[in-house]
C-alpha cells in the first residue's frame, strides 16, 4: 500500500505499512495506527523500542489490525540478562570494562520476534513485550502489559495481562481461523462486509461457498 492516510483530513491515523522504512518491520495491508499525541509517521521511533540492528529481530504485524495511540513494542535489548549475578549490563559497556565487543549480546536475554496476527485490536498505551505472539482476532485492553502469548480471538487486560474472555465460542473461532477473511480479495471482502460487520457467521459461511 502507498496511501498513507485512510480518511480525508485525518492526519492522526495512518496505514502503517505505508510509513514503515525498517526492513525488520513487516506490516500487512489496511493495518492502522492512530496517534493524537505525537506524529503517527514517527511510529518506528516512538513505538518500536530497544529494536537495535545487532539482533536482527522482527516486528511482524498482520492485516486489518487497529493499533491505538501510545502502544509500545519492547524488544530484547530491554531485557537485562537474568543469567548474571548483576543486573548491570557490563557487556554493553565493553570499552569501559575491557571486554570483547563480540559478546555484547550477552547483556540481555533474547526472547525472539514480536508477532501480531491479523484483525488484532491493541488498546491505548498497551505494552507488548519481546517474544510475544498475539493470535488472529485478539483484543489487548488499554494499558495492558503483555508478557506472554495471546491465543486467537481472546481478550486480555491488566498488568501483567490475563485472559478476560473469548470473543466467540470455540466453533465460531475455528470457523474464522479457517476462513481467514483478511486474505480474501478486496472485492470479496467488500461484498461480504455486511455479514462480517454484523456478526452474521452463517451468512458469511454461505456467501464464502459461492463464487464471488
Rounded-to-integer distance, Cα 29 and Cα 146, Å: 24
Rounded-to-integer distance, Cα 73 and Cα 152, Å: 19
**60 beta partners:** 26, 115
51 is known as an active-site residue: no
What is the rounded end-to-end Cα distance, in angstroms, of the chain? Answer: 23
Please pick, among 51, 55, 80, 133, the residue that the annotation labels catalytic.
80
Rounded-to-integer distance, Cα 31 and Cα 197, Å: 17
CA angle 90, 93, 95 (to 5 degrees): 125
Please check whether residue 40 is in contact with residue 20, taking contact to mean a CB–CB distance below 8 angstroms.
no
Rounded-to-integer distance, Cα 19 and Cα 3, Å: 9
The catalytic residue positions are 80
Amino acid at each position: 500500500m502507498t496511501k498513507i492516510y485512510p480518511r480525508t483530513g485525518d492526519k492522526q491515523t495512518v496505514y502503517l505499512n505505508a510509513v514503515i522504512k525498517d526492513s525488520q518491520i513487516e506490516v500487512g495491508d489496511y493495518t492502522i495506527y492512530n496517534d493524537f499525541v505525537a506524529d503517527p509517521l514517527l511510529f518506528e521511533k516512538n513505538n518500536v523500542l530497544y529494536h537495535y540492528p545487532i539482533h536482527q529481530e522482527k516486528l511482524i504485524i498482520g492485516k486489518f489490525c487497529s493499533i491505538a495511540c501510545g502502544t509500545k513494542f519492547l524488544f530484547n535489548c530491554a531485557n537485562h540478562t537474568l543469567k548474571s549475578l548483576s543486573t548491570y549490563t557490563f557487556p554493553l559497556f565493553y570499552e569501559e570494562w575491557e571486554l570483547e565487543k563480540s559478546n555484547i549480546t550477552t547483556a540481555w536475554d533474547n526472547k525472539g520476534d514480536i508477532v501480531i496476527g491479523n484483525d488484532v485490536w491493541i488498546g491505548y498505551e498497551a505494552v507488548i513485550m519481546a517474544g510475544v505472539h498475539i493470535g488472529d482476532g485478539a483484543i489487548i485492553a488499554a494499558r495492558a502489559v503483555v508478557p506472554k502469548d495471546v491465543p486467537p480471538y481472546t481478550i486480555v487486560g491488566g498488568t501483567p495481562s490475563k485472559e478476560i474472555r473469548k470473543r466467540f465460542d470455540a466453533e465460531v473461532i475455528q470457523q474464522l481461523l479457517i476462513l481467514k477473511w483478511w486474505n480474501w480479495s478486496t472485492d470479496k471482502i467488500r461484498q461480504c462486509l455486511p455479514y462480517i460487520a454484523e456478526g452474521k457467521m452463517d451468512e458469511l459461511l454461505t456467501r464464502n461457498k459461492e463464487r464471488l
